Chain A
């Protein structure tokens, strides 16, 4: 795993000391809120509906046991005993007090963590496939590339005052688990004629104007990555609109100028700046890569797992949904669901964090990942250890067997916490999960992604949910708009609006009608919701959602 170098440590220490002084001056009244706000945002500190919120970066979602334990300690000492894992692979604390935040940042620095670039118009925390380094279908581990991008963008003088925030995501697999087509720049590691390179996608993004990214380069030689990405950011930095916050993201620049024009400009700029890189970035990459060596895999029989599957149906069900193929045949990737039916998606208590840390240390080569789907991953587990892990997870109330199913819902904090929200999202997720658990239908329904956002900013990725839910304020009442057919994978698509929104009370029954329709019209059990939707279109779902308008039209 990547180890901080001296520069990183000194940089973070200096920034923390500065922020401590700024907090003191704010509390004494020497700084006004207008002066302080940009400073606190640069350090990941937001003022939300009921309290401050601190957003801590987990670069490309990777952390070790000691870091997870420290997150648990912070949750207990400075917050209300839990943390919220987000769709950006970060963790948020919902109740820190202003005076404690400098201490929290110091505690984070002890384990090489920080809250920098989690906010503001900078290049944000680079995200990656949460199965990075472990997935059976991977061309190369995307994390060294993500780390290279992180080091290059951190405190880069040109990138502190961009037209708007800028988000990068990297995957090493063709199966896109990092939603790279909904990022400002999405990077896929690809192989062509035995050479490894990058496919570069630009101009994706959700929010008010959702767009699927377009291909900027089909195959970029590895050595060209930083100059090419820098050229892209340069072009946007010059063309990007600063006059209107809703038109400032690169997706709009790409949309307004067209991908061919942008590509031509990027290539011109790339030729200019490429010589200035002089290969330092390649040396750096080689150094970084050493820190991401595969763990020393163990060679042992896997019978324990096979036997347990036969003996224990609950275990078999859990291993059906929560385990993914590892590149080493004797290993498995374990997804720990933070979506117990009725619980808040993405929340983990301090005790649960410690259990996950311990499991990583004992069985998982000390590695943990946070997924953008708000779950926690043990990427390297020998299959013979799976029964012991399952038992420990059950003890900690973490063994919900629902990864990829209807109750594995992404939900942003919504109006329970977020100052920007137009409606709540958490209670909606809780109700849907509980309802389908009660109906005992979720395994019958199979693969289905519901994603919920509490406002148009779309932190809950609702546009790419197979079923997307957007909470709005309609004349002072919470109202929920449904979209269908969205997809965050390599076949990315923006969901289509089904029609008028639903009140909070009418929403869960509406979702039930969608599911009944799917179960009715699917060609066979193996046809997923998304496949069915693509085959039959909106028609049958619309008829089920709005039976009255159908009757009146008939």
Chain B
């Protein structure tokens, strides 16, 4: 019996700059959500979460975040995660600089 599982990505902050990072299919940390690996299976997500958490000198505060799968790739479900993909709303600082 499979219970419904919301797709997830693994995310954290980079140790050196604090920038938001995502775990990629290649098993590396990347800077954009579009390059993140999306997990649709809970067991795989948990296993990868352990692997991703084993690099304490790279990533801080590793966790799973819910996403929706769209034609444009994964998009955040919660507004907090959406802000994390972009940066603050009062200045064009953070990730949005490169995105635009």
Contact = CB atoms under 8 A, between A and B. Distances in A.
Interface of A: 26-29, 32-33, 47-52, 80, 94-95, 97-99, 344, 415-417, 421, 424, 426-427, 430, 473, 476-478
Contacts of A94: 88, 93
Contacts of B15: 26-27, 33, 98
A477 B82 CA distance: 12
Interface string B57-94: 10011000000000000000111100110011111011
Contact of B79 (A29, A426, A478): A478
Contact of B17 (A80, A98, A421): A98
B10 to A, nearest CB: 16
Contacts of A421: 80
B89 A416 contact: yes
Interface string B10-22: 0001011111100
A468 B96 CA distance: 31
A49 B90 contact: no
Given A51-B19, A97-B17, A426 B90 contact: yes
Given A49-B83, A416-B83, A476-B78, A98 B93 contact: no
Interface residues of B, number: 25
A475 to B, nearest CB: 10
Contact of A99 (B16, B20, B61, B87): B16
B56 interface: yes
Given A26-B15, A27-B16, A51-B17, A33 B61 contact: yes
B28 to A, nearest CB: 17
A47 B16 contact: no
A33 B20 CA distance: 16
Given A52-B18, A427-B90, A476 B61 contact: no
A351 B81 CA distance: 33
A430 B77 CA distance: 26
A97 B93 contact: no
Given A26-B57, A94-B93, 7 more contacts: A29-B56, A50-B87, A50-B93, A50-B95, A344-B91, A426-B89, A427-B89
Nearest to B87: A50
Contacts of B91: 80, 344
Nearest to A29: B57
A477 B79 contact: yes
A479 to B, nearest CB: 11
30 contacts: A26-B15, A26-B57, A27-B57, A33-B15, A33-B56, A33-B60, A47-B18, A50-B19, A50-B87, A51-B94, A52-B18, A80-B91, A80-B93, A94-B93, A97-B16, A98-B15, A415-B79, A415-B80, A416-B88, A416-B89, A417-B88, A421-B80, A426-B88, A426-B89, A426-B90, A427-B89, A430-B90, A473-B80, A476-B79, A478-B79
A47 B93 contact: no
Contacts of A32: 56
Nearest to B86: A50
Nearest to A82: B91
B52 to A, nearest CB: 14
A33 B84 CA distance: 21
Nearest to A37: B60
Given A28-B57, A33-B56, A51-B18, A344 B83 contact: no
Contacts of A99: 16
A352 B78 CA distance: 36
B96 to A, nearest CB: 10
Top 4 A-B pairs, shortest CB-CB distance:
A29-B57, A416-B88, A51-B18, A52-B18
B88 A47 contact: no
Q: Which of A28, A94, A99, A416 has the largest number of chain B CB atoms within 10 A?
A: A416
A416 B91 CA distance: 10
A68 to B, nearest CB: 21
B94 to A, nearest CB: 5
B12 to A, nearest CB: 10
A476 B90 contact: no
Contacts of B88: 50, 94, 416-417, 426
A415 B79 CA distance: 10
B54 to A, nearest CB: 11
Contacts of A98: 15-18
A478 B78 CA distance: 10
A505 to B, nearest CB: 14
A463 B94 CA distance: 32
Contacts of B89: 416, 424, 426-427
Nearest to B93: A80
A305 B80 CA distance: 50
B94 A50 contact: yes
A473 B83 CA distance: 14
A378 B87 CA distance: 34
Nearest to B78: A476
Nearest to A33: B60
With most chain A CB atoms within 10 A of its CB, the pick from B18, B19, B61, B83 is B18
Nearest to B55: A29
Nearest to B20: A50
A29 B16 CA distance: 12
Nearest to A52: B18
B85 to A, nearest CB: 10
A51 B79 CA distance: 18
A426 B61 CA distance: 25
A473 B68 CA distance: 19
A48 B90 contact: no
A9 B40 CA distance: 56
B77 A47 contact: no
